[in-house]
Amino acid sequence: MSPTGVGLGLRSAFVDELLEREARGEIPAIRWLECHPENYMRRGGRWPRNLERCRERWPFATHGLAMSLGGVDPLDRQYLATLRTFLRDLEVPWHSDHLCFAVAHGAASHDLLPMPWNEDTARHFADRVREARELISVPLAVENISYYVKPAGSTLDDGSFAAAVVRESGCDLMLDVNNVYVNAQNHGDDPRAILAAMPLDRVVQIHVAGHFLEGEEEPGFVIDTHAEPVCDGVYDLLAWTLERTGRVPILLERDDDFPPFDELYAEVERLDRLWRAAPERGIRAMSAMSAMRAAAR
Q: Is 97 in the site for Fe ion (CB under 5 A)?
A: no
Residue number, 138 or 175, with CB nearest to Fe ion: 175
Torsion of CA 64, 69, 70, 71, to 10 degrees: 100
Spell out where the chain has E strands: 6-9, 32-35, 60-63, 95-98, 101-104, 107-113, 140-143, 172-176, 203-209, 212-213, 222-223, 250-253
What residues does 32 pair with on adjacent strands? 7
Residue number, 57 or 267, with CB nearest to Fe ion: 267
Near Fe ion by CB under 5 A, which window of 13-21, 123-131, 173-181, 256-264?
173-181
Question: What is the smallest separation between the CB atom of 253 and Fe ion, expressed in angstroms?
Answer: 5
Alpha-carbon distance 266 to 251, whole Å? Answer: 14
Near Fe ion by CB under 5 A, which window of 19-27, 49-57, 170-178, 239-247?
170-178
Q: How many CA atoms lie within 13 A of 142 on its CB side?
A: 34
Q: Write each residue from 16 to 55 as x if it is in contact with Fe ion (CB under 5 A), else as -, in one continuous string.
A: ----------------------------------------
Alpha-carbon distance 158 to 150, whole Å? Answer: 10
What residues does 206 pair with on adjacent strands? 175, 250
Residue number, 39 or 85, with CB nearest to Fe ion: 39
Question: What is the smallest separation between the CB atom of 9 and Fe ion, expressed in angstroms?
Answer: 9
Residue number, 202 or 207, with CB nearest to Fe ion: 207
**CA separation (Å) from 227 to 30, 34, 195, 211?**
19, 17, 24, 7
Near Fe ion by CB under 5 A, which window of 54-62, 71-79, 171-179, 239-247?
171-179
Residue number, 211 or 244, with CB nearest to Fe ion: 211
Q: Which of 97, 158, 172, 176 binds Fe ion (CB under 5 A)?
A: 176
Question: What is the smallest separation between the CB atom of 209 and Fe ion, expressed in angstroms?
Answer: 6
Exposure b/e, 203-237, CB count within 10 A at least 16 = b: bbbbbbbbbebeeeeeeeebebbbbbbbbebbbeb
- Nearest 5°: CA angle at 121, between 117 and 122? 85
Near Fe ion by CB under 5 A, which window of 86-94, 174-182, 216-224, 231-239?
174-182
Q: Write each residue from 198 to 237 as x if it is in contact with Fe ion (CB under 5 A), else as -, in one continuous string.
A: ---------x------------------------------
Which residues of the chain form contacts with Fe ion (CB under 5 A)?
Answer: 176, 207
